Amino acid sequence: MKRVGVLVHPTRPVADALKALRSWTEERGFELVQIPHGEQPSVAPPGEVSSCDLIAALGGDGTVLKALHASAPTKTPVLGVACGSLGALTTTQEGALSIGLDRFAAGAWGAQQLPALGIRAAEGDIRWAINDFVVVRRGGTQLSIDVYASDELYVRMAGDGMVVATALGSSAYSMAAGGPLLTFDTGAFVCTPLEMHGGCAPPLVVPHDRELTLQVHPGHGGFRVESDGFEFVTEAERFGVVCEQAFATLVDTGDSRTGFPWLRRRGLIADSPRVLARRDAVVAAQSADPDNSL
């Protein structure tokens, strides 16, 4: 290793993590540079992703997403550092940053290859979404969308819109809209209708090697298009969506390939109250009588 890049959240307190990162790099004679990508305070001399061995993203999932998009062309690994939050993409908490960096330097880490959706509009431009791609109505009029998978018509729907998500993004907007939860290592993506008005179109799981096509028929209010939560302006009404299996590299020091531990910590998956009450009763009984065989 020679150089570490850093990308920081624009407003979240990252001083402690930044101090730890500076100390770690200085002690080892590594150069610390800042990757210019979006709004952020200046914390180090500017540098290029291509010259870095590692990108440390200090903040939360949004900051890690920015770092992953910036590092995707070179597949430079990204170490996500949670500063006051707990996210799906953060590898370590700020208090354990030095330990995480030591493990990376020692090679005691895994390269989690994250997929991304490639969205091609009529203009020919390609945009990438690591979490999800959303087409949603503006105003009060419904949006009609024709959905094709591998050029075969799936459904013509009317409603609020459509969210197309990677396996990683399936636990966000898509799940909130009633879509299925895909384990992080699932080789597929999911298309979930938003408040469909009549008809029947269950969320559709699409193999990663198939193309999805959305033909939009906007109402009077029009519609907007978002990629990873950011709106982008386009005149297109037809979108082709493909999945690239290894778009960016995330540093992984754990052994979970499902994402369940993170989902449970966040409360996105929760046990039945009846089961929890039974467990608490057993624990209480054992505490009162250690010799109890319950």
- Is residue 122 over pLDDT 90? no
Residue closest to 175 by CA, chosen among 107, 238, 255, 263:
263
Task: Kindly report the average pLDDT of the chain as a whole number.
Answer: 90
Q: pTM of this prediction?
A: 0.87
pLDDT of residue 88: 74
Angstrom distances, CA of residue 87 to CA of 58, 157, 179: 12, 33, 20
Angle at 185 between CA 180 and CA 189, to 5 degrees: 45
Q: Which among 147, 156, 158 has a CA at the least distance from the CA of 205?
A: 147
Q: Using one digit for the tens of pLDDT, what is the confidence trace for 213-231? A: 999 999 888 999 999 988 9
Task: Report the percentage of the chain scoring pLDDT > 70.
Answer: 96
Give the torsion through C-alpha atoms of 69, 73, 79, 80, to 10 deg.
10
Instruction: Give the residue, 144 or 94, on which the prediction is more confident.
Output: 144
Tell me, what's the pLDDT at 293? Answer: 53
What count of residues does the chain have? Answer: 294
Q: What is the mean pLDDT of residues 1-29?
A: 93
Planar angle of CA 37, 41, 46, nearest 5 degrees: 55
Confidence band for 48, pLDDT divided at 50, 70 and 90:
very high
Nearest alpha carbon to residue 24 among 88, 101, 82: 101
Residue for token digits 């880490």? Answer: 109
> What percentage of the chain carries pLDDT values higher than 90?
65
Query: What is the mean pLDDT of the segment spanning 238-255?
Result: 89
- pLDDT digit string (tens) for 184-203? 889 999 999 999 999 999 99
Q: Which residues are catalytic?
A: 61
Model confidence band, residue 263 (pLDDT cutoffs 50, 70, 90) = confident
Domains of the chain by start residue, with CATH: 3-108 (3.40.50.10330), 115-248 (2.60.200.30)
Do 78 and 64 meet the contact criterion of CB atoms below 8 Å apart?
A: yes
- pLDDT value, residue 92: 86
Mean pLDDT of 255-269: 75
